[in-house]
Protein backbone atom coordinates (compact mmCIF):
# COMPACT_ATOMS: atom_id res chain seq x y z
CA UNK A 1 0.00 0.00 0.00
CA UNK A 2 1.56 3.22 -1.17
CA UNK A 3 0.18 5.34 1.67
CA UNK A 4 2.02 3.34 4.33
CA UNK A 5 5.23 3.13 2.29
CA UNK A 6 5.40 6.85 1.57
CA UNK A 7 4.46 7.95 5.08
CA UNK A 8 6.97 5.46 6.51
CA UNK A 9 9.66 6.95 4.31
CA UNK A 10 8.62 10.40 5.49
CA UNK A 11 8.83 9.32 9.14
CA UNK A 12 12.23 7.72 8.56
CA UNK A 13 13.42 10.91 6.85
CA UNK A 14 12.34 13.00 9.83
CA UNK A 15 14.10 10.67 12.28
CA UNK A 16 17.33 10.59 10.26
CA UNK A 17 17.24 14.36 9.77
CA UNK A 18 16.88 15.00 13.50
CA UNK A 19 19.58 12.47 14.39
CA UNK A 20 22.24 13.44 11.84
CA UNK A 21 21.42 17.10 12.31
CA UNK A 22 22.39 16.70 15.97
CA UNK A 23 18.99 17.99 17.06
CA UNK A 24 18.20 14.93 19.18
CA UNK A 25 19.82 11.68 20.13
CA UNK A 26 18.87 8.30 18.68
CA UNK A 27 15.92 7.70 21.05
CA UNK A 28 14.19 11.05 20.63
CA UNK A 29 14.88 11.11 16.90
CA UNK A 30 13.20 7.72 16.56
CA UNK A 31 10.27 8.88 18.69
CA UNK A 32 9.62 11.97 16.58
CA UNK A 33 10.06 9.92 13.43
CA UNK A 34 7.29 7.60 14.59
CA UNK A 35 5.11 10.59 15.48
CA UNK A 36 5.72 12.08 12.02
CA UNK A 37 4.83 8.76 10.39
CA UNK A 38 1.60 8.48 12.36
CA UNK A 39 0.55 12.06 11.66
CA UNK A 40 1.36 11.84 7.94
CA UNK A 41 -0.43 8.50 7.65
CA UNK A 42 -3.53 9.88 9.38
CA UNK A 43 -3.67 12.98 7.18
CA UNK A 44 -3.07 11.02 3.98
CA UNK A 45 -5.64 8.40 4.95
CA UNK A 46 -8.23 11.05 5.76
CA UNK A 47 -7.75 12.81 2.44
CA UNK A 48 -7.93 9.59 0.43
CA UNK A 49 -10.99 8.34 2.30
CA UNK A 50 -12.66 11.69 1.70
CA UNK A 51 -12.12 11.32 -2.04
CA UNK A 52 -13.29 7.69 -2.02
CA UNK A 53 -16.46 8.63 -0.10
CA UNK A 54 -17.15 11.39 -2.60
CA UNK A 55 -16.97 8.94 -5.51
CA UNK A 56 -19.09 6.38 -3.66
CA UNK A 57 -21.57 9.17 -2.99
CA UNK A 58 -21.66 9.85 -6.72
CA UNK A 59 -22.53 6.20 -7.38
CA UNK A 60 -25.22 6.28 -4.69
CA UNK A 61 -26.62 9.50 -6.11
CA UNK A 62 -26.96 7.93 -9.55
CA UNK A 63 -28.86 4.97 -8.09
CA UNK A 64 -31.16 7.11 -5.95
CA UNK A 65 -31.88 9.45 -8.86
CA UNK A 66 -32.65 6.53 -11.18
CA UNK A 67 -34.94 4.87 -8.65
CA UNK A 68 -36.82 8.12 -8.05
CA UNK A 69 -37.45 8.50 -11.79
CA UNK A 70 -38.83 4.96 -11.96
CA UNK A 71 -41.01 5.53 -8.89
CA UNK A 72 -42.39 8.69 -10.49
CA UNK A 73 -43.19 6.76 -13.66
CA UNK A 74 -44.93 4.00 -11.69
CA UNK A 75 -46.94 6.64 -9.81
CA UNK A 76 -48.12 8.08 -13.13
CA UNK A 77 -49.09 4.59 -14.30
CA UNK A 78 -51.16 4.11 -11.14
CA UNK A 79 -53.14 7.20 -12.06
CA UNK A 80 -53.39 6.16 -15.70
CA UNK A 81 -52.64 2.44 -16.13
CA UNK A 82 -50.53 1.45 -19.15
CA UNK A 83 -52.08 -0.61 -21.90
CA UNK A 84 -49.80 -3.58 -21.27
CA UNK A 85 -48.28 -4.65 -17.94
CA UNK A 86 -45.61 -6.66 -19.78
CA UNK A 87 -44.61 -3.64 -21.85
CA UNK A 88 -44.46 -1.51 -18.70
CA UNK A 89 -42.16 -4.07 -17.06
CA UNK A 90 -39.86 -4.01 -20.08
CA UNK A 91 -39.73 -0.22 -19.97
CA UNK A 92 -38.80 -0.26 -16.28
CA UNK A 93 -36.10 -2.85 -16.98
CA UNK A 94 -34.65 -0.65 -19.74
CA UNK A 95 -34.71 2.43 -17.52
CA UNK A 96 -33.03 0.50 -14.71
CA UNK A 97 -30.34 -0.75 -17.08
CA UNK A 98 -29.55 2.84 -18.08
CA UNK A 99 -28.85 4.17 -14.59
CA UNK A 100 -27.12 0.96 -13.47
CA UNK A 101 -24.70 1.25 -16.41
CA UNK A 102 -24.09 4.87 -15.42
CA UNK A 103 -23.35 3.78 -11.85
CA UNK A 104 -21.01 1.03 -13.10
CA UNK A 105 -19.07 3.60 -15.11
CA UNK A 106 -18.76 5.73 -11.97
CA UNK A 107 -17.31 2.81 -9.96
CA UNK A 108 -14.46 2.53 -12.46
CA UNK A 109 -13.16 5.89 -11.21
CA UNK A 110 -12.40 4.21 -7.87
CA UNK A 111 -9.64 2.11 -9.44
CA UNK A 112 -7.21 5.03 -9.18
CA UNK A 113 -7.11 4.28 -5.44
CA UNK A 114 -6.24 0.59 -5.87
CA UNK A 115 -2.68 1.10 -4.60
CA UNK A 116 -3.69 3.53 -1.87
CA UNK A 117 -6.62 1.86 -0.10
CA UNK A 118 -6.53 -1.69 1.32
CA UNK A 119 -8.85 -4.13 -0.51
CA UNK A 120 -9.97 -1.38 -2.88
CA UNK A 121 -10.27 -3.81 -5.79
CA UNK A 122 -12.45 -6.13 -3.73
CA UNK A 123 -14.65 -3.24 -2.58
CA UNK A 124 -15.15 -2.20 -6.20
CA UNK A 125 -15.90 -5.80 -7.21
CA UNK A 126 -18.51 -6.00 -4.43
CA UNK A 127 -20.23 -2.81 -5.59
CA UNK A 128 -20.19 -3.95 -9.21
CA UNK A 129 -21.52 -7.40 -8.24
CA UNK A 130 -24.51 -5.67 -6.64
CA UNK A 131 -25.13 -3.49 -9.69
CA UNK A 132 -24.92 -6.35 -12.18
CA UNK A 133 -27.21 -8.41 -9.94
CA UNK A 134 -29.86 -5.67 -10.05
CA UNK A 135 -30.23 -6.07 -13.82
CA UNK A 136 -29.61 -9.83 -13.93
CA UNK A 137 -26.31 -9.62 -15.80
CA UNK A 138 -25.38 -13.04 -14.48
CA UNK A 139 -22.38 -13.49 -16.75
CA UNK A 140 -20.72 -10.50 -15.09
CA UNK A 141 -22.03 -11.58 -11.69
CA UNK A 142 -20.27 -14.94 -12.07
CA UNK A 143 -17.04 -13.26 -13.14
CA UNK A 144 -17.12 -10.98 -10.08
CA UNK A 145 -18.16 -13.62 -7.53
CA UNK A 146 -14.59 -14.80 -6.70
CA UNK A 147 -13.47 -11.18 -6.17
CA UNK A 148 -16.42 -9.77 -4.22
CA UNK A 149 -16.79 -9.72 -0.43
CA UNK A 150 -19.86 -11.45 1.04
CA UNK A 151 -19.79 -10.04 4.56
CA UNK A 152 -23.31 -8.62 4.45
CA UNK A 153 -26.29 -11.03 4.88
CA UNK A 154 -27.97 -9.77 1.70
CA UNK A 155 -24.76 -10.31 -0.28
CA UNK A 156 -24.41 -13.82 1.12
CA UNK A 157 -28.06 -14.49 0.18
CA UNK A 158 -27.30 -13.41 -3.38
CA UNK A 159 -24.37 -15.81 -3.44
CA UNK A 160 -26.37 -18.85 -2.36
CA UNK A 161 -29.17 -17.85 -4.75
CA UNK A 162 -26.70 -17.79 -7.63
CA UNK A 163 -25.17 -21.09 -6.53
CA UNK A 164 -28.66 -22.60 -6.70
CA UNK A 165 -29.18 -21.17 -10.19
CA UNK A 166 -25.88 -22.73 -11.24
CA UNK A 167 -26.93 -26.12 -9.87
CA UNK A 168 -24.34 -26.30 -7.08
CA UNK A 169 -24.79 -29.14 -4.57
CA UNK A 170 -26.90 -28.40 -1.48
CA UNK A 171 -23.96 -29.34 0.75
CA UNK A 172 -21.80 -26.68 -0.89
CA UNK A 173 -24.54 -24.07 -0.53
CA UNK A 174 -25.00 -25.17 3.08
CA UNK A 175 -21.37 -24.42 3.90
CA UNK A 176 -21.75 -20.88 2.58
CA UNK A 177 -24.98 -20.51 4.58
CA UNK A 178 -23.40 -21.74 7.82
CA UNK A 179 -20.41 -19.46 7.42
CA UNK A 180 -22.60 -16.45 6.63
CA UNK A 181 -24.95 -16.95 9.61
CA UNK A 182 -22.30 -17.81 12.18
CA UNK A 183 -21.88 -14.34 13.68
CA UNK A 184 -25.10 -12.57 12.73
CA UNK A 185 -27.15 -10.67 15.27
CA UNK A 186 -30.75 -11.41 16.14
CA UNK A 187 -33.04 -11.31 13.08
CA UNK A 188 -30.18 -10.66 10.64
CA UNK A 189 -30.48 -14.24 9.36
CA UNK A 190 -34.02 -13.93 7.97
CA UNK A 191 -33.26 -13.55 4.26
CA UNK A 192 -30.51 -16.18 4.34
CA UNK A 193 -32.69 -18.73 6.15
CA UNK A 194 -35.63 -17.98 3.86
CA UNK A 195 -33.49 -18.46 0.76
CA UNK A 196 -31.69 -21.61 1.90
CA UNK A 197 -34.86 -23.31 3.16
CA UNK A 198 -36.62 -22.40 -0.12
CA UNK A 199 -33.77 -23.99 -2.08
CA UNK A 200 -33.99 -27.17 -0.03
CA UNK A 201 -37.77 -27.35 -0.47
CA UNK A 202 -37.40 -26.87 -4.23
CA UNK A 203 -34.93 -29.75 -4.27
CA UNK A 204 -37.32 -31.97 -2.33
CA UNK A 205 -35.30 -32.05 0.90
CA UNK A 206 -38.15 -30.95 3.17
CA UNK A 207 -36.65 -32.42 6.36
CA UNK A 208 -33.43 -30.45 5.88
CA UNK A 209 -35.43 -27.27 5.18
CA UNK A 210 -37.43 -27.81 8.40
CA UNK A 211 -34.22 -28.21 10.41
CA UNK A 212 -32.80 -25.02 8.88
CA UNK A 213 -35.90 -23.07 9.93
CA UNK A 214 -35.94 -24.55 13.45
CA UNK A 215 -32.31 -23.58 13.93
CA UNK A 216 -32.82 -20.14 12.33
CA UNK A 217 -35.71 -19.35 14.68
CA UNK A 218 -33.37 -19.72 17.64
CA UNK A 219 -31.96 -16.37 16.49
CA UNK A 220 -35.07 -14.85 14.96
CA UNK A 221 -38.77 -14.25 15.59
CA UNK A 222 -39.64 -13.51 11.96
CA UNK A 223 -43.23 -14.41 11.11
CA UNK A 224 -42.41 -15.70 7.61
CA UNK A 225 -39.87 -18.16 8.99
CA UNK A 226 -42.35 -19.22 11.68
CA UNK A 227 -45.12 -19.73 9.15
CA UNK A 228 -42.91 -21.79 6.83
CA UNK A 229 -41.73 -23.95 9.72
CA UNK A 230 -45.35 -24.68 10.65
CA UNK A 231 -46.29 -25.45 7.06
CA UNK A 232 -43.47 -27.99 6.76
CA UNK A 233 -44.21 -29.45 10.20
CA UNK A 234 -47.81 -30.10 9.12
CA UNK A 235 -46.85 -31.49 5.71
CA UNK A 236 -48.28 -28.49 3.85
CA UNK A 237 -45.29 -27.98 1.57
CA UNK A 238 -47.43 -26.29 -1.09
CA UNK A 239 -48.12 -23.46 1.37
CA UNK A 240 -44.42 -22.73 1.93
CA UNK A 241 -43.88 -19.14 0.77
CA UNK A 242 -41.44 -16.26 1.20
CA UNK A 243 -43.61 -13.71 -0.60
CA UNK A 244 -44.37 -11.88 2.67
CA UNK A 245 -40.75 -10.68 2.65
CA UNK A 246 -41.66 -8.55 -0.37
CA UNK A 247 -39.03 -6.80 -2.45
CA UNK A 248 -36.24 -8.13 -0.22
CA UNK A 249 -37.14 -11.65 -1.34
CA UNK A 250 -37.81 -10.86 -4.98
CA UNK A 251 -34.46 -9.05 -5.22
CA UNK A 252 -32.80 -12.49 -5.08
CA UNK A 253 -34.41 -13.34 -8.46
CA UNK A 254 -35.43 -16.78 -7.26
CA UNK A 255 -39.07 -15.95 -7.87
CA UNK A 256 -40.85 -13.31 -9.90
CA UNK A 257 -43.60 -11.25 -8.24
CA UNK A 258 -47.05 -11.96 -9.57
CA UNK A 259 -48.46 -9.06 -11.55
CA UNK A 260 -52.20 -8.74 -11.87
CA UNK A 261 -53.52 -6.98 -14.93
CA UNK A 262 -55.57 -4.01 -13.86
CA UNK A 263 -58.90 -3.66 -15.54
CA UNK A 264 -59.69 -0.19 -16.75
CA UNK A 265 -63.17 0.91 -15.89
CA UNK A 266 -65.36 2.13 -18.71
CA UNK A 267 -66.07 5.81 -18.37
CA UNK A 268 -69.56 7.02 -19.26
CA UNK A 269 -70.21 10.50 -20.48
**What is the rounded average pLDDT of the residues 165-192?**
95
Instruction: Tell whether the model's pLDDT for residue 263 goes beyond 50.
Output: no
> Residue 265: pLDDT band by 50, 70, 90 thresholds?
very low
**What is the rounded average pLDDT of the residues 178-192?**
94
Distance CA 40, CA 1 (A): 14
Task: Look at 251 and 28; give whichever has higher pLDDT.
Answer: 251
Lowest mean pLDDT among 80-89, 96-105, 121-130, 255-264: 255-264
> Residue 56: pLDDT band by 50, 70, 90 thresholds?
confident
Instruction: Tell whether the model's pLDDT for residue 244 goes beyond 60.
Output: yes
- Residue 136 pLDDT: 93
Q: How would you class 107 by CB atoms within 10 Å of its CB: exposed for 0-12, middle for 13-18, buried for 19 or more?
A: buried
**What letter would DSSP give residue 220?**
-
> Residue 269: pLDDT band by 50, 70, 90 thresholds?
very low
Q: Map out the domains of the chain as residue ranges.
A: 1-135, 150-255
Please tell me the total number of residues recorded for the chain in this structure.
Answer: 269
For 94, the 3-state DSSP assignment is helix
Instruction: Tell whether the model's pLDDT for residue 19 goes beyond 60.
Output: no
CA atoms within 13 A on the CB side of 196: 34
Q: Which residues make Cβ contacts (< 8 Å) with residue 95, sequence separation at least 6? A: 66, 69, 70, 73
> Residue 81: pLDDT band by 50, 70, 90 thresholds?
confident
Give 194-220 pLDDT, tens digit per residue. 999 999 999 999 999 999 999 999 999
Task: Look at 33 and 225; give whichever has higher pLDDT.
Answer: 225
- Residue 14 pLDDT: 57
Distance CA 255, CA 31 (A): 61
CA–chain centroid gap for 74, Å, is 25
CA–chain centroid gap for 170, Å, is 22
Rounded to the nearest 10 degrees, the angle between the axes of helix 190-202 and helix 153-165 is 10
pLDDT > 90 fraction of the chain, expressed in percent and rounded: 54
For 52, the 3-state DSSP assignment is helix
Contact criterion met (CB below 8 Å) for 262 and 81: yes
**What is the rounded average pLDDT of the residues 240-250?**
95
For 225, the 3-state DSSP assignment is helix
Contact criterion met (CB below 8 Å) for 98 and 66: yes
Distance CA 177, CA 200 (A): 12
For 192, the 3-state DSSP assignment is helix
Q: How would you class 140 by CB atoms within 10 Å of its CB: exposed for 0-12, middle for 13-18, buried for 19 or more?
A: middle
Between the CA of residue 191 and those of 3, 182, 256, what are the distances in Å? Answer: 38, 14, 16
> Residue 259: pLDDT band by 50, 70, 90 thresholds?
low
Average pLDDT value for the chain: 84
* 156-193 as b/e: b if 16+ CB within 10 A: bbbbbbbbbeeeeebeebbebbeebbeebeeebbbbbb
- Residue 261 pLDDT: 44
- Residue 268 pLDDT: 26
Amino acid sequence: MLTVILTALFGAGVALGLYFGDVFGYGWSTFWGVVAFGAANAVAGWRIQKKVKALMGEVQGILVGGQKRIQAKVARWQMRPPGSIQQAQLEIARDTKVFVNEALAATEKLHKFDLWVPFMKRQIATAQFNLHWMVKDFKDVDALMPKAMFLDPSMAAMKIARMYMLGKPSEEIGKVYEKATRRLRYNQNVLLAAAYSWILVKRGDVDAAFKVLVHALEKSDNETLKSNREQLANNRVAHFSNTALGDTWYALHLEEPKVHQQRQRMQWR
